[in-house]
Amino acid sequence: MTEHSKQAESTFALRCVINGEAQTIETTASARLLTLIRDELELTGTKRSCDIGRCGACMVLMEGEAVNSCLAMAYQCAGKSITTIEGISKGGFDPIQQAFLEEGGFQCGYCTPGMIVSVKGLLDSNPSPSEDEIAEALSGNICRCTGYGGIRRAVTRAIEGRMLAK
């Protein structure tokens, strides 16, 4: 057995980058990223809801791709770059957020940070997605109050806005 395989300490120092800033968080290796973001870093824009990856309220970007922070464990985030909704709006409203506001892509707003994060991950890798690609990218984000019409309009508007901005 190698030394590395023996590294199963009860505490774990998670070193990663969150919203552009290097962080070292003393935790346990199996702690959920969601818990660390909300309770340790007090970045409460990332929402807790289903705890099993079904609703998407806790979505964050890991290396630029959307993942459920309720499923990711601390050791899986080591060395990674994590972006939360606070990171997306660090320099002011992101055009995706503006599009959600203008198109009424929310009602209670609880799912909205996760929606924004998923759309950000999609458009950063695929600036001109098809309807099917949008549907697939948002298939892990559930809205239980306003329906999806406004959300789809917001995504379309965000795509157009990003195109015009180029």
Partner 1 sequence: MGMNAQGSMAFPQVWHPQTAAEAWHLKQSFGTDSVYVSGGTLLRTQWESGVAAIPKHLIDLSAIRGLGEIRIGETGLVIGGQVSLEACRTHPIIQRHFPIVTEALRQTAAPSIRRLGTIGGNIASNIGDSLPALLGYNAHVVWYNGMEDLQITLSEWLKIAGMLHTERLLLQIQLPFQADETLEGHEVEHLRSVISKTKRFSAYHKVGRREAFTPSVVTASVSGSLSEKKEVNEIRIALGGGQMIAQRLEELERELLGKVIDVQLLRHVYNRIMQLYKPREDLFASVSYRKTTAAHLIASELWKAAHQ
Residues in contact with partner 1 by CB under 8 A are 1-2, 4-10, 12, 28-32, 35, 48-54, 56, 59, 62, 65-68, 70-73, 75-76, 118, 135-137, 139-141
Q: How far is the CB of 165 from partner 1 (least distance, A)?
A: 25
Q: How far is the CB of 62 from partner 1 (least distance, A)?
A: 8
Closer residue to partner 1, CB minimum distance, 53 or 98: 53
Contacts of 119 (CB under 8 A, 6+ apart): 96, 137, 138, 154, 155, 158
Contacts of 82 (CB under 8 A, 6+ apart): 16, 17, 18, 19, 33, 37, 60, 61, 62
Q: How far is the CB of 99 from partner 1 (least distance, A)?
A: 21
Q: Which pair of tokens denotes residue 150?
A: 């406004």
